[in-house]
Amino acid sequence: MSISEFDIIQRYFKSKLIHTNIHRLGIGDDAAVLEIPQGLQLVTSVDSLNEGIHFPEQASAFNVGYKALAVSVSDIAAMGAEPLSVLLSLSLPCADLGWLQEFSAGFFALATKVHIDLIGGDICRGPLSVTTVVNGLVPQGQAILRSHAKLGDRIYVTGNLGDAGLALHLLRVEADVIDDLLLQRLHRPEPRVAAGLALRTIAHSAMDISDGLLTDLTKLCVASDVGAVVYAHRLPLSAVLQKQCTLKEAWQYALCSGDDYELIFTIPPDQEQRLLLLPREVTLTYIGEIKTGSGVEILDEQGHVFPVQQRGYEHFSEDNESE
């Protein structure tokens, strides 16, 4: 069945705007028009997912749509911004209407949950690829930056770590059974929007964990010109991960595997009590401290250096495999 780009947009992607006070014009013209309220700053992030690199050929369209939006919203959450709108660019090998229906359902399942408007985009023919540009709003000067960690800060993470990494490993080895929780964590990560908003006046620094805790904390340390120590025995691990791995294997997944999309943040010690007052939609776990020097040191419960076998995801490493 032949269908035009215009018809695809009208059928699967045009939706009623939520933030009409800001989005003066959305889908339907050459460009969107936004009116940013006084006292607020626009925060923008872009991510691309490519078939065979970020998701396998057999991935469900619903999961691809959901995750394509989730990864960019996670960046916005890490900055302490409230999600506002998204631009979507789709490259499709063919106009598979069933696939588009499922993709749209997954995309809008998360868009509805985080109250974000789809205000434009592009569709073209080519290898399957999805790019999202997400906009958010933050009060003037209150964006949480990765470059503001301070000596003595306590390091925290949201949620559990390593589940998505184990799920990806089990998919690669074609395991007969994979726990639904692991698959959910890999295919439908939950951007920590509420946590990011709550941390705006508490955290010195933050970023989301997309390429693995060790890799991303190293980036934060480089940006802030500091070092860090992480206590492996304090890493938050799900019951499923602990059941299916030895403790040291679980630590490796928590430290090195990507796709967690949790937040890592640093706060001064005198602000820790304020964490107890935050909404508890997600657990917050203390895992280490910011120190002098450079790099990230991993210590076990005896205070010995824990040897990390593999660092997190790097896009141009020859060792990386697709999902």
Is the pLDDT reported for residue 121 higher than 50?
A: yes
Residue length of the chain: 323
Is the pLDDT reported for residue 322 higher than 60?
A: no
- Rg value, the chain, Cα: 20
The residue whose two tokens read 């009409």 is 20
Give this prediction's pTM: 0.93
Position 319 confidence tier, pLDDT thresholds 50, 70, 90: low
Query: Parallel, antiparallel, or unpaired: how do β-strands 227-231 and 262-267 relate?
Result: unpaired
| SS3 at position 164 | helix
Query: Parallel, antiparallel, or unpaired: how do β-strands 117-125 and 82-92 relate?
Result: parallel
What is the number of alpha carbons within 13 Å of residue 128 lying toward its C-beta? 20
What domains lie within the chain, and their CATH numbers?
5-139 (3.30.1330.10), 146-299 (3.90.650.10)
225: left (phi over 0), alpha (psi -120 to 50) or beta: left
Condensed to tens digits (0 to 9), the pLDDT of residues 196-239 reads: 999 999 999 999 999 999 999 999 999 999 999 999 999 999 99
Is the pLDDT reported for residue 40 higher than 60?
A: yes
Contact 57, 179 (CB under 8 A): no
